[in-house]
Amino acid sequence: MEASAAVWVAALNGSAMGGGCELALACDVRLMARGDHCIGQPEVLLGFSPGGGGTQRLARMIGSARALRLVLDGGALTPEEALSLGIVDYLVEPGELVDSAVAEAARLGSRPKAAIAACKRAVYEGGSMPLPQGLQLERAEFLSALGTVEAKQAMRDYLEAIERDGELPAYDPAQLHAARLRGRFS
């Protein structure tokens, strides 16, 4: 999942404990329905450690100290607690979960596939390397995606939009404001 050019969005409409949590952590984006359910890594309570990536992904996501406390405790987190720790990205009403997840997947998945794959490799692989090697990987991904047909077309479209509208499309204040309202930026 982490190496693919697809954007993986988890839609959690109930409890995700152990393997369910680990599958959600492997996704690029996690939406969770509000409600009386939870997410967590309870394996330690059964006498073993998480084995499907929970320790590694949590540590990279929320830091080693927090991840260790969560997996040593084994307790469940409410949707609100998971959001505040950064384990899930968005909370939505249960009836809106699937539509919200599909919309987010469509929005993020509409980016050029080579760029998606390059971003994911730079973050997932480069993020676990020492900084000089991570920067080298990022630079290599940048250069490899820059010359693709998709990137060239996206750059042409961007320049045409500037000429047509007289504005910088990537810095559209209305779009940034709408993203802030949706909770994408704080």
User: Which residues participate in catalysis according to the annotation?
Assistant: 22, 43
DSSP string for residues in 146-164: HTSHHHHHHHHHHHHHHHH
* DSSP H helical ranges for the chain: 19-26, 54-62, 64-73, 79-85, 97-109, 113-120, 131-146, 149-165, 173-181
Compute the Cα dihedral for 13, 17, 21, 23 and give only its sign. negative
Calpha distance 105→17 (Å, rounded): 23
Calpha distance 116→146 (Å, rounded): 12
| Residue 24 · residue 30 · CB < 8 Å | yes
| Residue 71 · residue 43 · CB < 8 Å | yes
Calpha distance 60→108 (Å, rounded): 22
